Chain A
């Protein structure tokens, strides 16, 4: 079964708005959590990630929150911009150099 699940496959937000993308996971062993961004006809690239020893990591307009007891992590985007329009994939893994399990992705549209 799918180990990482994303709700809300499609979201629209107005420019300047705040957006939250959610991801739930099943595997207790996951200790690495990430969000990848994918533009149409491009491959995914890492946006932000966090290890399980912290519950939050901020990078500019992007913040990832981790709730280990709830097996849940989220991506918050503030001051949304049209260039944020993309597909966002959550991913989780164990240790280093090992496979990541990906969600199905959520398509975000930022309208001007």
Chain B
């Protein structure tokens, strides 16, 4: 069973609606990642944090996505205005800062209708 907790497991949104997903990383892991697994099974990196600071992110994430990892609260990934192409499985993972192993949650599946 995954120790990275993601909610909700499924969400259905209309185009233009906001979609928000949450992630509680494994205890003691300061680094959190968000990936998008699309219908072609590609794992696209979106953004990662160390504690509350953004380490890396892609252009798409800067423009339509917002993400944060506040202290003492779940991390979150929010799509401001959902598009059909955003339909995917969003995977959160966490790791130690001194390691490379990613521990994945079970994902939040977003369907944009």
List A residues at the B interface (Cβ < 8 Å): 2, 32, 34, 36, 42-46, 49, 87, 89, 93, 96-102, 104-105
Contact = CB atoms under 8 A, between A and B. Distances in A.
Main secondary structure of the interface of A (DSSP, over half): strand
A97 B42 contact: no
Interface stretch (B68-76, B80-88, B100-108): B100-108
A84 to B, nearest CB: 19
Contacts of A43: 2, 4, 91, 104-107
Interface residues of B, number: 29
B90 to A, nearest CB: 12
24 contacts: A32-B100, A34-B101, A42-B106, A43-B91, A43-B106, A49-B101, A89-B43, A96-B96, A96-B99, A96-B100, A97-B31, A97-B50, A97-B55, A97-B95, A97-B98, A97-B100, A98-B48, A98-B100, A99-B55, A100-B45, A100-B102, A101-B45, A102-B43, A104-B40
A99 B33 contact: yes
B66 interface: no
B98 A96 contact: yes
Interface in B37-60: 40-43, 45, 48, 50, 55-56
